[in-house]
Amino acid sequence: MKIKTNKLMSSILVFVLAVTVLAFSGCVEEDENKVIIGTSADFPPFEYMDDDGNIIGFDIDMTKGILEDLGYTVEVKDITFDSLIPSLQTGKIDVIAAAMTITADREEQVDFTDPYYEADQSILVVEGSNIDLENTIDLQNYTVGAQTGTTGAAWVEENLVGNGTMSAQNFSRYDTYTLAVLDLINENIEAVVLDKPVAEAFAANKEVEIIETIITGESYGLAVQEGNTDLLEELNQGLSDLIGTEEWNTLVETYF
């Protein structure tokens, strides 16, 4: 009787181990086929939340479409902009799709795709304000906001605060553009420096307006972890196949 019991227990153990192995095999396969997109969903029309709390936008639709066409399962995570690159480097996300400007500094930390969008910076103020600028450097005479980690913030730091023409106390940094524009509307600051396409989106829906464009020649790219050449090549091919097509034109018309 004892021998039979031991044989029965052994059979059950083998069965459980086999099921466990199959289950883990399925998980590995699923994980290998899943791509997590990291974004900062406060940057309309590129990435933002709809009324139901879904992350949508030009970048999101574009990147999800490319990845899903390649057979990947896609998840989108909302992360503060300045945490995107660290999240990519530590493997918490696989792709950054966040209207991220390709810069030399960032290229030392991540691998960018080919550019998919060209953009400059804009100065956004409350509609009808009395701010008078003969040139962009005159912004030093006002209180200014920008999103932390963006090229807009870098422009203010390099051209105004860094050279001493603007007091550091007059420059406010924000986790999101939404907070910066809200502070602008509430008249806690007098101007916001942000990417032109996003400034245009805010100006179309809020009581704000663009008074100046800062020509910077910026280009947006998707980003992957350094050395992830397979995914980089797939994204580049996907962008090449998409840009200029009817589907691309529909995306542009939808969000711009």
State the CATH number of the domain containing residue 71. Answer: 3.40.190.10
φ and ψ at residue 93, rounded to 5 degrees: -135, 165
State yes or no: pLDDT of 19 exceeds 50. no
102-108: long-range contacts at Cβ-Cβ below 8 A with a sequence spacing of 24 or more? 102/218, 102/219, 102/220, 102/221, 103/151, 106/223
Residues 202 and 141 in one domain: yes
The model's pLDDT over 179-225, given as tens digits with 9 standing for 90+, comes to 999 999 999 999 999 988 888 888 887 799 999 999 988 899 999 99
The model's pLDDT over 234-247, given as tens digits with 9 standing for 90+, comes to 999 999 999 988 89
The model's pLDDT over 107-117, given as tens digits with 9 standing for 90+, comes to 999 999 999 99
Residues 27 and 77 in one domain: no
Question: Chain centroid to CA 23: how far?
Answer: 34
Residues 192 and 130 in one domain: yes
Residues 194 and 233 in one domain: no
Contacts of 180 (CB under 8 A, 6+ apart): 145, 146, 147, 172, 174, 189, 192, 194
Residues 55 and 92 in one domain: yes
Provide the b/e sequence for 162-174 (b: ≥16 CB within 10 Å). eeeebeeebbbbb
Q: Are 79 and 38 in contact (CB under 8 A)?
A: yes
Structure-token pair, residue 224: 């992957």
Given pLDDT bands bounded at 50, 70 and 90, which one contains residue 31?
A: low
Residues 112 and 226 in one domain: yes
Residues 25 and 103 in one domain: no
Residues 155 and 197 in one domain: yes
Residues 128 and 204 in one domain: yes
Residues 152 and 133 in one domain: yes
Residues 46 and 59 in one domain: yes
Expressed as residue numbers, the domain containing 24 is 1-32
Structure-token pair, residue 61: 């639709």
Residues 127 and 215 in one domain: yes
Q: How many domains does the chain have?
A: 3
